[in-house]
Amino acid sequence: IMGCIPDRTTNLCSDQLIAKPATPTHLNVTSSLETLSLDGYFSFNNNNHAAKDFGNTYQSLPLAVLYPKSVSDISSTVKLIFNMGSASELTVAARGHGHSLQGQAQAHRGVVINMESLKGSQMQVHTGERPYVDVSGGELWINILHETLKLGFAPKSWTDYLHLTVGGTLSYAGISGQAFRHGPQINNVYRLQVVTGKGEVITCSKSKNPDLFYGVLGGLGQFGIITQARISLEPAPKMVKWIRVLYLDFSSFSKDQEYLIASENSFEYIEGFVILNRTGLLNNWRSSFNPKDPMQASQFNSDGKTLYCLEMAKYFNPDVTNVIDQITESLLLKLHYIPSTLFMSEVSFVEFLDRVHLSELKLRAKGLWEVPHPWMNLLIPKNRIHEFADEVFGNILTNNINGPILMYPVNKTKWNNNTSLVTPDEDVFYLVALLSSAVPSSKGTDGLEYILTQNKRILEYSARADLGIKQYLPHYRTQGEWRAHFGPRWKAFARRKSSYDPLAILAPGQMMFKKGI
Ligand code: FAD
C-alpha cells in the first residue's frame, strides 16, 4: 500500500511484512503452544491476513493464529500465556471480522484468535415475555438477523453495517439510527460469557459479576474475550418506509433531528448526513429513492451548496399500510425541510438493515473497498454542535470528503452509564462520522496524508474551542492520551485491568497497557 503508515514496531509496510526466521524464544513459545490439546488448531504460517484490517494503514504480523473450535481452546491458550508470566512478551488479540481502523485487532508477534471460527454452535432464539438470542462472540450480526427473523424477531439496536462480529461491536458500543431510543448495542445485552486475561471462563450480567459485565461492554477488549452473548430481541417488522429530506439551513436540520429523537412516537430510526456539494456533483444520496413530487424536485438546484439530509425510517407490516401512511405524514408535517425534497423508498426490513453491504459490493467491484480508511468518529455535545458545524463544514473541509459524513443526535438518558463507553457530559450529543476513503498513492486532497492532516485540524480546533467532544472508536498511541480520553473514569478502568488482565495480555492493538508493566 502506497502511503501506508508502517508497522509500529518493525517500521514495515504490509508488502514488506514477511515472516522473520524463528529465534530460539519463538521456537520455545511455538512448541509450548503446540503442546496444547485443542479442538481447533494454530496456524504458524501464512498469517498475513491477520496483520491487516479495514483501515488498511496499520500492519503487525502475529506469531500464530488460533482457530478455536471451543471456549476451552481460548481459555487454555490464554491460561498458558498467563502462566508464562511477564517475562514473555506474548500478547493475545481477539479478531472479529477485522474491521478495525488502526490495528486494534492485531498482536505484534503474539497470538491472534480468529473469533469467527467459534461460531459453529447453533444460535438459540428464546421467545416469550423477554425474547433473546444466545450467540457466539464471533457471530456476524447479519447472521443473527437472518436466524432471529425465522421466528419473527430481531435485535433492537444495530450498526449501519452488519458484517461485523458481536464481540467486535460490543467492545466499542454499536451505534446506529436506533440508538436514540434503545441505546447502543451494549445496552441491549443481558448476559456475557468472557475469558479473562488469566484464562478464567466467567459468566456475567447486571446481577452476576456486574463489574466484569459493565467493564467488558465498551471495554475495548481490555478485560476479557467475549465468547458468548445474550442479545435482547423484539418482534421484527416486514417492511420499512425509508425517507430522506433536505435542508439548506443547519439550524432547522438539527432542530428537527432533536425534536424527533425527543418524541416517544416518532420514527424507529433517525440519522442524517452532510453533503458538501461545492463541486456541483451531487453524492449518490438519492439513488433508489423516489421524489414525492418529481416536478418540484427536478427544479431544486443544489449546486455549490452545503446540504443537510435528514434520514428516517418507519417500520411497518403490509397489513397496516394506511395507518402507517397517516402516522408518517403527520410526523413529516411537523418538520421544516425544503418541501420539494421529500424522497421515499419502501424496502424489506433486511434490505434496509443490510443497506451498506450493497455499497460494499459496488465498491469491491471497482476495487475501492480495500483502500486506506482514515475514518474519524466524534461525539459532540448538543450545545456546541452549531459552532462545530460552522467551523468544520464552513472552513476546515474545503472539499467534499471521499465518503459519507454522518451526523445525528442521540439521547443519553436512554443509555446505561455503567459501561466502559466514554461519552460527552451532556444528555444529548451528536455522532459525527467522517468516513473517508483515501486513494492509494495519491498525494492530493484524496490522499491519506491530506485526509489525516484534515482530521488533525478538526481535533485541534475542537480542543482549542474546548467543545467537550469524545472520540468514538478512538485510537491513541500513549497511555497519557487514553487517560485524558477517560478523564475521571480512568481510575476505574485501570483497576478493572489489574483485576481481569493483570499482565496486560489482551488487545495490545489498542495501545493502552504494555505487557508486564
Ligand atoms: P475487530 O476489528 O476484529 O476487533 C475490534 C476490537 O475488538 C479489537 O480490539 C479486538 O481485539 C476486539 N475484539 C474483537 N472480538 C472480540 C471479542 N469477541 N471479545 C473481546 N474483544 C474482541 N460502528 C458503529 O458503532 N456503528 C456503525 O454504524 C458502524 N459502521 C461501520 C461500518 C463499516 C463499513 C466498518 C468497517 C465499521 C463500522 N463500525 C461501526 C465500527 C465497528 O463497529 C468496529 O470497527 C468493530 O470493532 C468492528 O467489528 P469487528 O468484528 O470487525 O472487530
96 lines ligand 1 (CB under 6 A): yes
Q: Per the structure block, which three cell numbers stand in for 168?
A: 467486535
What residues form DSSP beta bridges with 272?
310
- What pLDDT digit, counting tens, does each position of 26-43 carry? 768 899 999 999 999 999
In this structure, the residue with its CA closest to atom 42 of ligand 1 is 169
pLDDT at res. 427: 94
The predicted structure's pLDDT at residue 169? 98
| Cβ 105 under 6 angstroms from ligand 1 | yes
Give the Cα separation of 301 and 431 in Å (integer): 28
Kindly calculate the radius of gyration of the chain based on its CA atoms and give it in whole angstroms.
Answer: 23
Q: Indicate the burial class of 110 (C-beta count within 10 angstroms; 0-12, 13-18, 19 or more).
A: buried
Known catalytic residues?
A: 99, 160, 271
d(CA 370, CA 362): 12
Beta bridge partners of 113: 66, 94
Structural domains in the chain plus CATH codes: 14-114+499-510 (3.30.43.10), 119-235 (3.30.465.10), 239-472 (3.40.462.10)
* Ligand 1 binding pocket includes 472 (Cβ within 6 Å): no
104 lines ligand 1 (CB under 6 A): yes
Q: Which ligand 1 atom is at minimum distance from the Cα of 373?
A: 36
- Using the mean position of ligand 1's atoms as its centre, give its distance from the Cα of residue 96 in Å: 7
Tell me, rounded to whole angstroms, the distance of Cα 211 from its chain centroid: 23
End-to-end CA distance of the chain, in Å?
34
- Round to whole Å and give the CA distance between 15 and 257: 45
pLDDT digit string, tens, across residues 205-231: 999 999 999 999 999 999 999 999 999
CA atoms of 117 and 139, how far apart (whole Å): 9
Question: What's the Cα-to-Cα distance from 468 to each of 93, 137, 266, 376, 383, rounded to whole Å?
Answer: 31, 33, 29, 16, 10
Task: Say yes or no: CB of residue 140 within 6 Å of ligand 1.
Answer: no
CA of 168 to the centre of ligand 1 (A): 4
Measure the CA–CA gap between 128 and 358, rounded to whole angstroms: 34
The CA 327 to ligand 1 mean position distance, Å, reads 36
Q: Quick check: CB of 424 below 6 Å from ligand 1?
A: no
Ligand 1 closest atom vs CA 472: 25
Q: What is the whole-number distance in angstroms between the Cα of residue 112 and the centre of ligand 1?
A: 15
Give the 3-state secondary structure of residue 12.
Answer: coil
Ligand 1 centroid vs 95 CA: distance in angstroms?
A: 9
| CA gap 177, 478 in Å, rounded | 32
Cα dist from 243 to 290, 321, 329, 341, 405, whole Å:
9, 15, 11, 10, 18
Smallest CA separation from ligand 1 atom 53, residue? 168
DSSP string computed for 310-346: EEEEEEE-GGGHHHHHHHHHHHHHT--S-GGGEEEEE
Any ligand 1 atom below 6 A from CB of 97: yes
Ligand 1 center–CA 159 separation, angstroms: 10
Cβ proximity of 138 and 117 under 8 Å? yes
- pLDDT block averages, 10 residues each, the chain of length 517: 45 49 70 95 96 96 97 98 93 98 97 92 90 97 98 98 98 98 97 98 98 98 98 98 95 98 94 78 60 74 85 94 91 96 95 95 93 97 98 88 93 92 96 95 92 97 98 96 98 98 98 83
pLDDT at 500: 98
Q: Is 94 in the pocket of ligand 1 (CB under 6 A)?
A: yes
Atom of ligand 1 nearest to the CA of 185: 25
